[in-house]
Amino acid sequence: MRNIDLKKEKQKITNFIKTYFKNAGFSKGIIGLSGGVDSSLVTYLAVEALEKENVIGVLMPYKTSMDDSFDDGKLVAEKLGIKYIIREITPMVDAYFDTYDQNADRLRKGNMKARTRMCTLYDLAAKEHALVLGTSNKTELLLGYVTQFGDGACALEPLGCFYKSEVWKLAEIMGVPENIIKKTPTADLWEGQTDERELGFSYKDADEILYALYEEKASIEELLSQGFTEEQIQHIISIVNRNRFKQSVPPNPETHTI
């Protein structure tokens, strides 16, 4: 895995946020606070870049959300002294499926929750004249482990240059509460869901393989010599390839060749 100076990177990211907001003509940023390490870290970075009075957190629980998701999101907001808004999304999500498709599977329902949260964020951003800060990291973006136009929608992606392993380390440097850093990563889209169980591998392994393949341009043989299995490597490659369409803006006839 790469060796970077996270303290310097932190300064680089806060400068990026400041400059982006200044050039866009905005002073306020709004963030969906899920209680996870990524959204918590983005909030800490935003407060440092924009000042706490210009950062708004939004907690958007669903009826099956884990209690600690809400509690930890609120903890971050209160610890940093930022304004936070609570928007329960259960009535919005359930109204759709109760009306049109009560037998929808959990993936469809999970994606609807993610998109409902983003619609809520963008509505509040319009009300507050704020920009939406994304909370996805480089690992998730490479794997396409985001809901298109859900958690993948934002004005800027401060953690888009950090692998998940680096997010955890930077969160420690920034003083994110330890219980948030150490909790099991989950998008909390359905009961019992965890990122690593759904993906089929650990973030640590994913980071090592992604970095080696796509930054160091290592061969599969080199990865095999590092102790990874053919199955692990091919599984990650297949996920990247399958979700590559999420990594670019929608194509149009002038920019895309079939």
Catalytic residues: 38, 140
Nearest to 140, CA basis, from 148, 132, 131, 130: 148
| Residues forming beta bridges with residue 32, ordered by sequence position | 58
| Contact by Cβ (8 Å): 133, 42 | yes
For the chain, what is the radius of gyration of the CA atoms? Answer: 19
| Contact by Cβ (8 Å): 131, 29 | yes
If you search the block for the tokens 């480089």, which residue do you land on?
Answer: 138
Q: In terms of C-beta density within 10 A (0-12 exposed, 13-18 middle, 19 or more buried), how is residue 12 classed?
A: exposed
| Cα–Cα distance, 230 to 9 (Å, whole number) | 33
Nearest to 213, CA basis, from 146, 157, 143: 143
| Cα–Cα distance, 256 to 248 (Å, whole number) | 11
| Cα–Cα distance, 191 to 184 (Å, whole number) | 13
| Cα–Cα distance, 33 to 75 (Å, whole number) | 10
